[in-house]
């Protein structure tokens, strides 16, 4: 989960659930660090040196899944 304590406001969440693009982008922005952390991979070059990169395909998949869940979310 994100380390900072800032939470999304209820109106932003409701707007995102209703399909507002700006609100969905606010949710994605809020969780971009967490998504990047989840999609980090350790790769090795031909000399055996390791380095850490963000797998862009995995990042896009996670963002897509988050958007899908936002749009299916039911606000009481």
Tokens of 66: 């988050």
- Convert the pLDDT of each residue in 31-67 to its tens digit: 999 999 999 999 999 999 999 999 999 999 999 999 9
**58 part of a folded domain:** yes
Q: Specify the number of domains making up the chain.
A: 1
- 2 within a domain of the structure (yes/no): no
In 3D space, the residue among 70, 57, 74, 73 whose CA is nearest the CA of residue 21 turns out to be: 70
Q: Report the predicted TM-score, pTM, of the whole model to 2 decimal places.
A: 0.82
Structural domain that includes position 59? 10-69
Other beta carbons less than 10 A from residue 34's beta carbon: 14
- 5 in a structural domain: no
- 1 located within any domain: no
Q: Indicate whether 34 belongs to any domain.
A: yes
* 65: CB partners within 8 A, 6+ apart: none
Give the C-alpha separation, 12 to 8, whole Å: 6
> Does a structural domain hold residue 19?
yes
| 74 domain-assigned | no
């Amino acid at each position: 989960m994100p380390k900072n304590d800032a939470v999304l406001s209820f109106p932003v969440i409701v707007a995102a659930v209703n399909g507002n693009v700006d609100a969905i982008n606010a949710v994605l922005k809020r969780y971009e660090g967490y998504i990047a952390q989840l999609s980090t991979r350790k790769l090795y070059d031909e000399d055996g040196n390791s380095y850490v990169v963000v797998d862009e395909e995995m990042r896009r998949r996670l963002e897509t899944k988050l958007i899908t869940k936002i749009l299916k979310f039911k606000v009481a």
